[in-house]
Amino acid sequence: MFESGLFVATAIQGLKWLQVWHEEQANPPHLPQHAILIFKRFKEAYDSKNAYKLKLLLSNRYRGDIFGASNKQAYLNIQKQV
């Protein structure tokens, strides 16, 4: 039989290890903190489809091909439609 105290202690240690692992995955040590913060803000704005927040985060010189949008204004127009 298992000792309940040992089982609980093991479960708590496992949970602590998962929290540390998740934090390391969410905040890679090789990226500067400002880059992580910008990425998190972009993800939040993108997930919520908040065109205003995206406008603040995207560079005016944005060039890309996300959803067929080649510049910042075209991308924001697509996000406003979603």
Contacts of range 66-72, beta carbons closer than 8 Å, 24 or more positions apart: none
pLDDT of residue 26: 65
Q: Identify the pLDDT of residue 9.
A: 83
Q: How deeply is 54 buried, as exposed, middle or buried, from its count of CB atoms within 10 A (0-12, 13-18, 19+)? A: buried
Task: Map out the domains of the chain as residue ranges.
Answer: 1-29, 31-82
pTM for the predicted model, two decimal places = 0.53
Cβ(24)–Cβ(45) under 8 Å? no
- Please, is 75 exposed, middle or buried when counting C-beta atoms within 10 Å of its C-beta (0-12, 13-18, 19+)? buried
Q: What is the pLDDT of residues 28-71, one digit of tens each?
A: 666 777 777 888 888 898 888 888 898 888 888 888 887 788 88
